[in-house]
A and B are shown apart, each in its own frame.
Chain A
Amino acid sequence: MGDNLQLNSEGKLKHFLTIEGLDKNLLTEILDTAESFAGMSEQQVKKVPLLRGKTIVNLFFENSTRTRTTFELAATRLSADVLSMNIATSATSKGESLLDTIRNLESMFVDMFVVRHNISGAAHFIAQHTAPHISVINAGDGQHAHPTQAMLDMFTIRQIKQDFSNLRVAIIGDILHSRVARSQILALNTLGAAEVRVIAPKTLLPAHVETLGVTVSHNLKEGLKDIDVIIMLRLQKERMTSALLPSESEYFKCFGLTEDKLKIARPDAIVMHPGPINRGVEIDSKVADGPQSVILKQVSNGIAVRMAVMSMAMQRQGALS
Chain B
Amino acid sequence: MSRIQISQGRIIDPANKIDHVGSVYIADGKIVSVLSEPDGFRPDRTIDASDRIICPGFIDLSTRLREPGQSRKATFASETRAAASAGITAMCLQPDTVPVIDTPAVAELVKDIAEKAGYAQIYPIAALSQKLEGTELSNMLSLMQAGCIAVGNANQPVRNLLILRRAMEYAASHDLLLMFRPNDYWLGNNGCAHEGVFATRYGLPSIPEAAETIAVAQCLELAELTGCRVHFGQLSGKRSVIRIHQAKKYGLDVSADVAMHQLHLTENDIAPFDSAYHVLPPLRTEEDKEYLRQGLAGGTINSICSDHQPHDIDAKLGAFPETEPGMSTLETLLPLMLSLVAQRAITLTQGIAALTEKPAQILRLRSGALTPGFSADVCVFDPELTWQVNQDNWQSQGVNTPFWGQTLKGRVTHTLQGGRIIHELEQGAGHVPGHGLRA
**Footprint of B on A, CB under 8 Å?**
1-3, 20, 97-99, 117, 119-122, 124-125, 129, 141-145, 179, 182, 206-209, 211-212
Contact = CB atoms under 8 A, between A and B. Distances in A.
20 contacts: A3-B271, A98-B322, A99-B318, A119-B319, A121-B321, A122-B319, A124-B273, A125-B273, A125-B320, A141-B319, A142-B204, A142-B321, A143-B205, A145-B203, A179-B203, A207-B195, A207-B196, A208-B196, A208-B200, A211-B201
B203 A143 contact: yes
A228 B199 CA distance: 29
A152 B205 CA distance: 27
Given A97-B314, A142-B321, A208-B196, A121 B201 contact: no
B197 A211 contact: yes
A162 B167 CA distance: 67
A206 B191 CA distance: 13
B202 interface: yes
Nearest to A211: B197
Contacts of A179: 203
A207 B203 contact: no
A125 B319 contact: yes
B208 interface: yes
B319 A117 contact: yes
B206 interface: yes
A119 B278 CA distance: 15
Interface string B298-333: 000000000000000010011111100000000000
A84 B320 CA distance: 25
A125 B317 CA distance: 8
A207 B200 CA distance: 6
A21 to B, nearest CB: 9
Given A99-B317, A119-B322, A120-B321, A212 B272 contact: no
Nearest to B320: A121
Given A97-B314, A120-B320, A207 B199 contact: yes
Contacts of B204: 120-121, 142-144
A121 B274 CA distance: 9
Contacts of A99: 317-318
Residue in A141, A145, A206 with the greatest tally of chain B CB atoms within 10 Å: A206
A91 B439 CA distance: 45
Contacts of B200: 206-209, 211-212
Contact of B319 (A121, A145, A212): A121
Given A120-B202, A120-B203, A124-B273, A97 B196 contact: no
Given A1-B272, A120-B320, 19 more contacts: A3-B272, A97-B317, A98-B319, A119-B319, A119-B320, A119-B321, A120-B203, A120-B319, A122-B319, A125-B273, A125-B320, A142-B204, A142-B321, A143-B205, A207-B195, A207-B200, A207-B208, A208-B200, A211-B197
A141 B273 CA distance: 12
A219 to B, nearest CB: 21
A117 B203 CA distance: 13
A206 B201 CA distance: 9
Contacts of A124: 272-273, 319
A97 B318 contact: yes
Contacts, number: 77
A2 B196 CA distance: 18
B318 A125 contact: yes
Nearest to A209: B200
B203 A144 contact: yes
Interface of B: 195-197, 199-206, 208, 271-273, 314, 317-322
A3 B273 CA distance: 12
A208 B206 CA distance: 12
Across the A-B interface, the 8 shortest Cβ-Cβ residue pairs: A143-B203, A144-B203, A121-B273, A206-B200, A121-B319, A122-B319, A119-B319, A121-B320
A128 to B, nearest CB: 8
Contacts of A121: 202, 204, 272-273, 319-321
B267 to A, nearest CB: 11
A318 to B, nearest CB: 29
Nearest to A178: B203
Nearest to A186: B201
B278 to A, nearest CB: 10
A188 B317 CA distance: 33
Contacts of B203: 120, 141-145, 179, 182
A179 B200 CA distance: 11
Contacts of A117: 319
Contact of B202 (A2, A144, A209): A144
A144 to B, nearest CB: 4
A2 B272 contact: yes
B273 A98 contact: no
A2 B271 CA distance: 8
Contacts of B199: 206-207
Contacts of A212: 200-201
Contacts of A209: 200
Contacts of A144: 202-204
Contacts of A206: 199-200, 206
Contacts of B208: 207
Contacts of B271: 2-3
A3 B321 CA distance: 20
Residue in A98, A125, A209, A212 with the greatest tally of chain B CB atoms within 10 Å: A125
A207 B285 CA distance: 13
A121 B321 CA distance: 8
Contacts of B272: 1-3, 121, 124
B383 to A, nearest CB: 33
A120 B320 CA distance: 7
B28 to A, nearest CB: 53
Nearest to B192: A120
A1 B272 CA distance: 6
A117 B314 CA distance: 19
Contacts of A1: 272
Contacts of B320: 119-121, 125
Residue in A2, A97, A144, A179 with the greatest tally of chain B CB atoms within 10 Å: A144
A56 to B, nearest CB: 22
A141 B272 CA distance: 14
A121 B192 CA distance: 12
B53 to A, nearest CB: 38
Contacts of A98: 318-319, 322
Nearest to B285: A208
A211 B200 CA distance: 9
